[in-house]
Amino acid sequence: MLKYVRDLGKTGVESIQSIGRAGMLFGQSVTWGGPGSAGFLDLIKQIHSVGVRSLSIIIVAGFFVGMVLALQGYNILIKFGSVSALGTMVSLTLLRELGPVLAALLFAGRAGSALTAEIGLMKATEQLSAMEMMGVDPLKRVITPRLWAGMISVPILALLFSTVGIWGGAFVAVDMLGLYDGAYWSNMANTVEFYDDVVQGLIKAAVFGVVVTWIAVYQGYDAAPTSEGIGKATTQTVVISSLAILGLDFILTAVMLGGV
């Protein structure tokens, strides 16, 4: 019994310490400049590695999600004789919810885990220590460009996801199910608001981008420098960021809709 209480306390203290370390890491690496700081080219390289290389999975997934949405939506809406609202339904679902959430989840699995493993392995092979001993701050050199690359990439990926998804919806609705294309596009154009839908979706994506990348770089930087430790950190990145995305999505939606 006493052991149980002690373990509970230990876990609690360790979690709080971990949050503190993550906060310090974010604070120290979110600003540019410092010993041996990374340059603009490093940022471009990282955007390529985490963003551009996630394009294929984002585009394919977005297209299929759009197609499924149109197919399901068509079969529901046709019962109420309001198939012309299909374009509105697909686009709002994607822009407000599925674009940011699914893009961020895919990003966590594709790029977040890779970031964690890369940084963890650099730590395990003493590359980060060697950098420190050469008078180069690994936070500034390694973490800063990766953090920013993720924060910049996720909103762009989310927007792409939604765009491709809307095309995927049009492909199913118009080309396969024979919906009049004017109904699909003009209803969408009439109902989708730039600020309420597009911008709010982007705000969500930006928040997810910060959180996912932060979790990924922290897990890598804090990983135990063993193969087991890196494996565990990589899993943690995917699990924690997925839960964080879904939890934050509810909070952000509630705040934006103001309904709760």
Partner 1 sequence: MTNSSNHVDVKDVTFYRGSRKIYDGLNVSFPRGKITAIMGPSGTGKTTLLRMIGGQLKADSGQVMVNGDDVGRMSRADLFELRKNKMGMLFQTSGLFTDLNVFDNVAFPLRTHTDLPDDMIRDLVLMKLEAVGLRGTRDMFPAELSGGMVRRVALARSIAMDPELIMYDEPFTGLDPISMGMILRLIRGLNEALGLTSLLVSHDVEESCQIADYLCIVSGGKVIGFGTPDELKNGDNAEVRQFLNGDPDGPVPFHYPANDYRADLFAGDA
- Residues found near partner 1 in the complex (CB under 8 A): 35-36, 125-127, 129-137, 141
Q: Would you say 137 or 249 has its CB closer to partner 1?
A: 137
As measured in angstroms, the least distance from the Cβ of 121 to partner 1 is 8
As measured in angstroms, the least distance from the Cβ of 11 to partner 1 is 17
- The answer for residues whose C-beta is within 8 angstroms of residue 215's C-beta and 6 or more apart is 22, 108, 112, 237, 240, 241, 244
Tokens of residue 71, six digits = 């197919």
As measured in angstroms, the least distance from the Cβ of 46 to partner 1 is 12
Pairwise CA distance, residues 246 & 151, whole Å: 18
Q: Would you say 53 or 183 has its CB closer to partner 1?
A: 53
As measured in angstroms, the least distance from the Cβ of 1 to partner 1 is 24
Closest to 85 measured CA to CA, from 61, 69, 101: 69
Q: Would you say 59 or 136 has its CB closer to partner 1?
A: 136
Q: Would you say 34 or 186 has its CB closer to partner 1?
A: 34
Q: Which helix (H) or strand (E) holds 31?
A: none
63-99 in b/e burial notation, b at 16+ Cβ within 10 A? bebbbebbeebbeebeeeeebebbbbbbbbbbbbebb
As measured in angstroms, the least distance from the Cβ of 53 to partner 1 is 15
Q: Would you say 94 or 122 has its CB closer to partner 1?
A: 122
What is the separation of C-alpha 258 from the centre of its chain, rounded to a whole number of angstroms?
Answer: 24
